[in-house]
Amino acid sequence: MLSVIIPTEGAEQPVVATLSALVPGAAAGVVSEVLLVDRSPDPSVMERVADVAGCNFMTFLGSPAAALAAGAAQARAPWLMFLPAGAVLDPGWIDETMQFVQSVAAAGRPRAGVFRYALSPSANVSLRDRLRAVARVVIGPLGDQGLLIAREHYRQVGGYRPDSKRAETRLLRQLGRASRTTLRSRIVMV
């Protein structure tokens, strides 16, 4: 039911943390595939991680936006979840995701979901973190909050444009508040 697309830059630890948070979703049948899209010049590390974890793997040497678009094009499930490498979801994400998908289907009106951003309890809060928190309040969610969207809705809004800078933020703005829901589940970057 859900394809998870994770863009990577060759760093193993953040990807493994994200994958471990997805295991219960795979066991529950919510996650049908995970696709790692690696943009590093040496894909051997991510290829090994994908092999061990049972993920699909592709290399892509273009822009981050083009990598996301390529991952979406390869995904097979009717729902897409885009997560940054290093994102760990709250344990309640599975039930909430199922409820969200069912409510969107029942309403017959396309909506996308983003997760509530939270800093890691062990993180040192920098000035940049504080500025980003203010930006989330003023302009809305940022690309590091993940995105849950039906494949058809993704296509209708034009998806990630390969030539766009900050394509994730642009897509969230294009969705607008009317067709975007902030989910209760938190996303924590490790």
Q: Which pLDDT band holds residue 123 (cuts at 50, 70, 90)?
A: low
- Please give the pLDDT value at position 136: 67
pTM: 0.91
DSSP state of 109: S
d(CA 153, CA 130): 32
State residue 82 phi and psi, 5-degree precision: -100, 125
pLDDT tens track for 62-75 = 888 899 999 999 99
By the 8 A CB rule, do 187 and 87 touch?
yes
* Portion of the chain with pLDDT greater than 90, in percent: 64
Report residue 81 CA to chain centroid gap. Answer: 5
- Mean pLDDT in residue range 75-104: 96
- Please give the pLDDT value at position 59: 93
d(CA 107, CA 5): 26
- Please give the pLDDT value at position 176: 84
- Mean pLDDT in residue range 25-42: 94
d(CA 137, CA 34): 31
> What would you measure as the largest C-alpha separation in the chain, in angstroms?
45
189: closest CA among 96, 95, 90, 91? 90
Q: Which pLDDT band holds residue 114 (cuts at 50, 70, 90)?
A: very high
Q: Residue 120: pLDDT above 90?
A: no
100: closest CA among 156, 6, 179, 40? 179
Q: Residue 87: pLDDT above 90?
A: yes
- Mean pLDDT in residue range 98-125: 88
